[in-house]
Structure 1
């Protein structure tokens, strides 16, 4: 009888343990089953977009170099599954392939007018597509892709500091919110750092500055007015700029008589020095023609490298006030921290000298 009681007691203990394990297993299984596999994001066009909880791949459609620069800024360039647009498939854009080597041979997913190639995108099966205003309506482009079953996030960047909102949204989508906040802090700290020095510079010492493509006699992008002003210059196109890109005549250029000219490519520096039409311009006389740096994108245009452009412009306009700023070190640190790229010093120098030169390329 005693042995029977012991046996029953042991049996009950065994059954109790077994039942606990079954309950625990069921609870664990239930927990896994209820883990969200999707989430909803509100993009910069106010659209609600359902995306996977974890993003393993992405595509960029629109102004490719700009979009990629933003993705690089949160360290997620390795997730891009498409290649650059046709216009950017030259040596001029080689740093795109330094930052994301795998995209060099990836397919083009848009037409020359930035219309998405939905068929190609569907083959690539990205978890999310990022697009930004280029030609036409960004919402319309997003609608085409969304209707094809491609979760699409609209980015909007019209005001200079909207780059921070853009980076924050990308960080949220790609689960890189910490890096996005660090980028925004770097942006604000850089602006404050430059402002502190520029605020001590008198108005008469702030040069008249023109940012232009001298071959087409045009000044690109409204953002020009922001970085010139922030860096302690007076933009000669500020009053004339009523559209994103403006054209001007030789007569107008001579009237502006800029003291500093920032051109779109290194070859345009020599063009201005050698062409007699420009000989009476102050910037030519005083050898103050400079090519805008080019990394992931042309720094004078919209790019995640905007804080670097501000530092470069401030040091270029006011070398004495910023003599302690080591631009090469700034580049190496920035690209390491945000782009996850270890940049050799010679590459930093090339970027600061206007980036790769492509003979005969239209700039």
Structure 2
């Protein structure tokens, strides 16, 4: 036997000695049913993932940060540097159109397409699959219902092989929800505070009662003064300053720092009870909003925050700072400091 044949035989023996499991793993797939009811074949071992919109992407990060390949937009602060500096690949959200080539260039194993319960969910996800070709697209319900986050968290944990992490998140979520709901249920209707949610440059854009964007008011036991019909899936409407004066809310919730500051200097806003009593609250953001935009799992920490803002006496024993620390460790994989908590809770002063 010449040298060439000997080498060939050795190479063949080396190949045959590789465990079958290694070969199988390289080509192994699994078939799942996604949350839109579609049957999808995906890799058995998922290492890299992208989401098409912020609520989905946030949930990927919270469940499996090392599998997230990129954000939909840039973030600032309150995340470990190696995750904060992931590239921004865009997406399909807020009227924006993503770029399919940008997503494909990141070589993800799967794409996660978030959807809500409005419209034909399956057709929406199928349309995205057509554009991505052979790259699997998995539909994940981005529940805009803050009372229903458990289901998408569990699905994502199972999908990405991080069930233990999902269980930690669900335990925290159920705990804060139970704490708030049990206390709120004991508040008499006559003692409940009235709340106005202000948005837009002039503060006259708001959300009607029943809108997912104002849901934390209801969960925290407040009465949304904008008791108008919910005419679409989300409930944003414009109102007049005269109408706000008529409502004269006890509390105002604001997401924009400039609007927050304006309310204390504007002659019209200064007449409102909430402004006079200094019960205007600017929602924290670390780096995702605690209150809304988007109305995803980022709002879980906003449930106790909103309750404590509306009812400081009833929730005086609720250790908000500890909940903030726990939330950031469990959900954001970030060890937030006391100074950072103070900054988050007082964003204008910061």
Q: Give the TM-score range, shorter chain.
A: 0.7 to 0.9
The CA deviation at 1:143 is 2.8
The CA deviation at 1:246 is 2.4
Q: Aligned partners of 1:218, 1:47: CA distance in 2, in Å?
A: 38
Q: Aligned partners of 2:134, 2:276: CA distance in 1, in Å?
A: 58
Q: Which of residues 189, 204, 229 in structure 1 aligns to 2:190?
A: 204
SS of equivalent residue, structure 1 residue 165: helix
Q: Do the aligned residues in 1 keep the contact of 2:144 with 2:296 (CA within 8 Å)?
A: no
Per the alignment, residue 5 of structure 1 pairs with none
The CA deviation at 1:286 is 0.9
Q: Highest CA radius of gyration, 1 or 2?
A: 1
By relative contact order (CA 8 Å, sep 6+), the higher-ranking structure is 1
Provide closer, same or farther for how the CA distance between residues 208 and 277 of structure 1 changes in structure 2, counting only shifts above 3 A. Answer: same
Q: Do the aligned residues in 2 keep the contact of 1:229 with 1:235 (CA within 8 Å)?
A: yes
The CA deviation at 1:355 is 8.2
Q: Is residue 84 from structure 1 mapped to residue 66 from structure 2 by the alignment?
A: no
Equivalent pairs counted in the alignment come to 323
Provide closer, same or farther for how the CA distance between residues 78 and 353 of structure 1 changes in structure 2, counting only shifts above 3 A. Answer: farther
Per the alignment, residue 241 of structure 2 pairs with 250
Q: Aligned partners of 1:355, 1:69: CA distance in 2, in Å?
A: 25
Q: Aligned partners of 1:145, 1:70: CA distance in 2, in Å?
A: 20
Provide closer, same or farther for how the CA distance between residues 355 and 137 of structure 1 changes in structure 2, counting only shifts above 3 A. Answer: farther
SS of equivalent residue, structure 2 residue 264: helix
Per the alignment, residue 8 of structure 2 pairs with none
Q: Which of residues 228, 234, 254 in structure 2 aligns to 1:263?
A: 254
Q: Do the aligned residues in 1 keep the contact of 2:51 with 2:60 (CA within 8 Å)?
A: no
Moved more, 202-211 or 128-137: 128-137
Q: Which of residues 292, 298, 306 in structure 2 aligns to 1:313?
A: 306
The CA deviation at 1:109 is 3.6
Structure 2: stretches of 5+ with no match in the other structure: 1-15
Q: Aligned partners of 1:44, 1:173: CA distance in 2, in Å?
A: 11
SS of equivalent residue, structure 1 residue 258: coil
Q: Aligned partners of 1:79, 1:291: CA distance in 2, in Å?
A: 33
Provide closer, same or farther for how the CA distance between residues 326 and 205 of structure 1 changes in structure 2, counting only shifts above 3 A. Answer: same
Provide closer, same or farther for how the CA distance between residues 308 and 102 of structure 1 changes in structure 2, counting only shifts above 3 A. Answer: closer
Q: Aligned partners of 1:250, 1:183: CA distance in 2, in Å?
A: 41
Q: Aligned partners of 1:352, 1:142: CA distance in 2, in Å?
A: 42
Per the alignment, residue 104 of structure 1 pairs with 85
Per the alignment, residue 133 of structure 2 pairs with 148
Q: Is residue 161 from structure 1 mapped to residue 147 from structure 2 by the alignment?
A: yes
Q: Aligned partners of 2:239, 2:164: CA distance in 1, in Å?
A: 44
- Output aligned runs, 1:112-131, within 5 Å: 113-131=95-113
Provide closer, same or farther for how the CA distance between residues 238 and 68 of structure 1 changes in structure 2, counting only shifts above 3 A. Answer: farther
Per the alignment, residue 342 of structure 1 pairs with 335
Kindly provide the CA deviation profile for residues 240-299 of structure 1, in whole angstroms up to 9, marking residues without a partner as x. 433312222222222221110000123322111111111221111111101111124222
The CA deviation at 1:41 is 2.4
Q: Which of residues 319, 322, 347 in structure 2 aligns to 1:326?
A: 319
Q: Do the aligned residues in 2 keep the contact of 1:214 with 1:263 (CA within 8 Å)?
A: no
SS of equivalent residue, structure 2 residue 149: helix
> TM-score scaled to structure 1, two decimals?
0.79
Q: Aligned partners of 2:341, 2:60: CA distance in 1, in Å?
A: 20
Q: Aligned partners of 2:349, 2:153: CA distance in 1, in Å?
A: 27
Q: Aligned partners of 1:60, 1:194: CA distance in 2, in Å?
A: 31
Structure 1: stretches of 5+ with no match in the other structure: 1-25, 358-363
SS of equivalent residue, structure 1 residue 229: helix
The CA deviation at 1:314 is 1.0
Moved more, 295-304 or 163-172: 295-304
Q: Do the aligned residues in 1 keep the contact of 2:30 with 2:41 (CA within 8 Å)?
A: yes
